[in-house]
Structure 1
Amino acid sequence: MNDLEFLNAFESGNFPPSMFDHEAHLRLAWINLKQYGEQEAIEKVCEGIKNFDALHGDGSKFHTTLTVASIKTVNHFMQKSEAHHFADFIQEFPRLKTSFKELLGQHYGFELLSDPKAKEKYVAPDLLPF
């Protein structure tokens, strides 16, 4: 599906939960960053994932700091990219799919991300700022 179809399916709650994997999270960030820029993308993606979690789960999986950090990470790589399509972007930066925990680990210590406060509210990196 194209980006508009993907976004519409996600926002309407019709995107299959079994397909909302790590790559789908990255794509959601990519689409929103392209359309809105970082700050508004953060707001829209956080709200969208919270709603998706409430609709298809028990509302307990959403993690604010991980979501914001993910969007900031995707934005960082987008600034270095000339890709016009998500598939090209992810091919250009495969570490976003294969080594994402390591990328976040450059910014956050495990203890900070495990803190329940980081789940509820965005916490800035303790190791390296974005």
Structure 2
Amino acid sequence: MTDDEFLASFSACTLPPEQFSHAGHIRLAWINLQRLDFEPAVEATCRGIRAYATHLGAATKFHATITVALMHLLRAAGAGERDISWYQFVNANQELMHDARAVLARHYSSQLLDSQASRERFVGPDLQPLPVRAAGP
């Protein structure tokens, strides 16, 4: 499925739930980071995941802090670089693809990530700052 097909299917809420696993979440964020500046990409990703989860009857599954923190980590890993493909990004970022919780645990305690406040709105990290990318989208 091309990025355009994935995004169209996701946006129309016709993407099968099994195709919106962790990798699907990362792909959505990557597509938005490829096409938009950072803040609009975060807004589009959060809005889209909320709408999709609501469509599936799982609105409470959306976690604002995990979503936004992962977008910071993805941007720092090069997700906004327009000259790499999705497959190149995946190959270069296996830890984010297969153990994102461990990456998040460097920045967030489980107590903070498990809080209702961090589920409802973005909360900054309590362990290490999230990476900052000075240049690019």
Please give the TM-score of this superposition, normalised by the length of structure 1: 0.94
Contact 1:81 1:89 in 2 (8 A): no
CA distance in 2, matches of 1:123, 1:6: 29
Which stretches of structure 1, 4 residues or more, deviate above 3 A after TM superposition?
A: 79-83
Q: Separation in 1 of the partners of 2:42 and 2:8?
A: 17
* Cα shift at 1:55: 0.3
Q: CA deviation at 1:58?
A: 3.2
Distance 1:73 1:58, change over 3 A: same
Q: Distance in 2 between matches of 1:83 and 1:100?
A: 24
User: Matched residue of 2:65: which SS?
Assistant: helix
Give the equivalent residue in structure 1 for 2:85. Answer: 85
- The one of the two structures with greater contact order (alpha-carbon pairs below 8 A, sep at least 6) is 2
Gaps of 5+ in 2: 131-137
Deviates more, 1:42-51 or 1:75-84: 75-84
Higher helix share: 1
- Percent of counterpart pairs with the same letter? 34
> How many angstroms does 1:82 deviate by?
7.8
Q: Which runs of 5+ in 1 are unaligned?
A: none
- Structure-2-length-normalised TM-score: 0.89
Residue in 2 that maps onto 1:24? 24
Which residue in the other structure is 1:33 paired with? Answer: 33
C-alpha distance after superposition, 1:23-54 (max 9, x if no partner): 01111111000111211111000000000000
